[in-house]
Each structure stands twice: as C-alpha cells, then as structure tokens.
Amino acid sequence: MRNKMYHFSYSSVFAKDINDYVELKQAMGLWFRTPAENLHRFDRLCVELNIQSSILTEKLISTWTAPRPGESDNTRAARITALKGFANFLNSKGAQIRWPHVQRRCSGPSQFVPYIFTADEIVRILQTADSQKIPAHGSQFHLIFPTVLRVLYGTGLRISEALRLKCEDVDLPHSLLSVWDSKFDNSRRLPISPSLRDELLRYESRLRRPVGSAYFFPNSKGLPYSQRTVYDKFRDILWQSGIPHGSGRKGPRVHDFRHTFAVHSLQKCVDAGIDTYTFLPVLATYLGHKKVSTTEKYLRLTAEAYPAFLKKATELSDTVIPEVQDYD
C-alpha cells in the first residue's frame, strides 16, 4: 500500500505557504488528505487565474467558495473549510485576511436526484466522444476523454479517482485497477471487464505519453487533467449527443456515470434473478462505500427508474462483478 502521508505539488504564488500549512497539520498527526487535495485545487485555480499577489483577497475567496454546478453542499463545505483553515494559518503569521460571509448550504432540503443514463444515451455519448476531431495544437485529449468516460461507466470510479490513476495502478495483464487513499481513506483493487481492458490496451497503444509522466491520463505537462476540463468537455458532448443539460445541479453530471454504473449493475441483478440485497455489500465495496446504507439509495433510484427492479431474486452470482480485494 502507498505511504499514508499524502503529498501534492503546489505551484502558485501561495505554494510555499500552502505546503508549510499542510506539513504542519501532518506533523500534528492529522490525516489531512482532503484539505490538502482541496488546497491543491485552489492552487491550480490561482495558476489558471494568473494570481500574482500572495494576498488572499475577498474576491479570490469568493471565487473559490462560490457554488459549482452539480456540487453537493458537503463537497462545497469541505472546499470552504480547507481555505478558511489556510486563511487562519496566514493570519497567525501576521496576515490580515478578512473572511467574507459565506452561506455554506442551500436553503431548504435538497431535492437533488442523480441522473441515470439509459443504455442508448451511453452509446450516443461514447460515439460522440470518439468522433471528436484531433486538436491542431497536439493535445491528446481526444484519446483521453472517451477513455476516461469508459472507465467511469465500466467501474463506477469517482472522476477524481480516475484522473489520479497512475500507470502502476493499471494492471492490464491481470485486468485490475488499484485505487489508493481515496475518499474516506479507502483503497481498493477492482477487476475490470475484458471489453474495458481491451479499450485500455488500445488507448495505451495510441497514446504518446509525455516523458517521465507517471499518470495514466496525462495532460501535455505529464500531470493529471483537472476535473473542470473534463466537466466542460462533458457538457459539450451532451449537447452534441442531443441530451439536454439543465443549469446548476440539474445535470446530467460526470458523476452521474458513477450512479449509472451502480444502477445498471443492480438492474443486471434483477434480470439475472440475483438477490440484490446480497449483492449490495459487493457493490458497496466496489464503489468504495464504507457503509452499505450509502449504496442502498441506489435501490430506491433503480426502483424508480426500472419498475421491474423489485422482482424476486435468487442467490448472488460472482459473474456480475468479480471478487473485490479491499485494503484497510
């Protein structure tokens, strides 16, 4: 298993201070992966915005803390908490940062329901992604993007997990993907289908990997693509595929590939006469859920999307999803 201390490389004008802050928290014995990851994203945002001043302004804070399409309240709250902790650290060193009022949660209970793609929509999305023109500037995103989508739909990985995959994590001879130190401090090894393995082999044979890059889906600098790059392209692909995209959190979202993987897997259980409640712990482990109750919500979603889902099933079969090795 990889070292539990999670390290990021920071490159913005705040790089040294962020690194000092993260190292301080880790030296205190804190498992600081999620805040460190959020600060890494903040660091990349500063680079993208060409921030030259090391003063954490209210405008920059507001830009970072603003709600994002498809983002849950909890995810946004984690972003806000990470930056506020960093701001407090800077203030302890003599900075005078004024933290603006930030409303963390939307008013009223969340009515959000994930979008479950149909099989036809999945085919249309992948066909559209495959037909993208080769960029004139030499980018290989036309190869990477459709392959990322196939990994998301074929494994249910979170987009952050897929983009962080390293070459050493992709064991194609044995049809395995390794996901390390993911959400909730979870690591797991996932078997993949023969068809997905073949797609990944084809992708590898065509990709011109940047020299020295350790990442399976590298950008031109050999680093992982940002989630924002994938989100923006995904919305464009939806439009080209004739699938409407609502504003805000109405979706569909990239993360809905994960929900779709789970729902389609459960639907296969019904079609195969498999006991879905026996299958749930297997699916929970595959998805990286710590609690089966988290996965149970997919039962409700599937029942709503597929009326036949509640048919009586029989016993669990290991042919739906192979055995999963879970690592503490």
Return all residues near 308 (Cβ < 8 A) that are at least 6 apart: 270
CA angle 295, 120, 317 (to 5 degrees): 40
- Quick: pLDDT tens for 239-286: 999 988 765 556 688 989 988 898 888 888 777 877 777 888 888 888
pLDDT value at 328 more than 60: no
Domain 119-250 is classified in which CATH homologous superfamily? Intergrase catalytic core (1.10.443.10)
Strongest mean pLDDT among 110-124, 196-210, 263-277: 196-210
Burial class (CB in 10 A: 0-12, 13-18, 19+), 112: middle
> CB–CB of 152/261 below 8 Å?
yes
Burial class (CB in 10 A: 0-12, 13-18, 19+), 102: middle
- Written as six digits, the tokens of 217 are 């889906």
Starting at the edge strand found earlier in the chain, the sheet holding 186-191 runs 170-171, 176-182, 186-191, 325-327
The bridge status of strand 170-171 relative to strand 186-191 is unpaired
Provide the whole-model pTM.
0.64
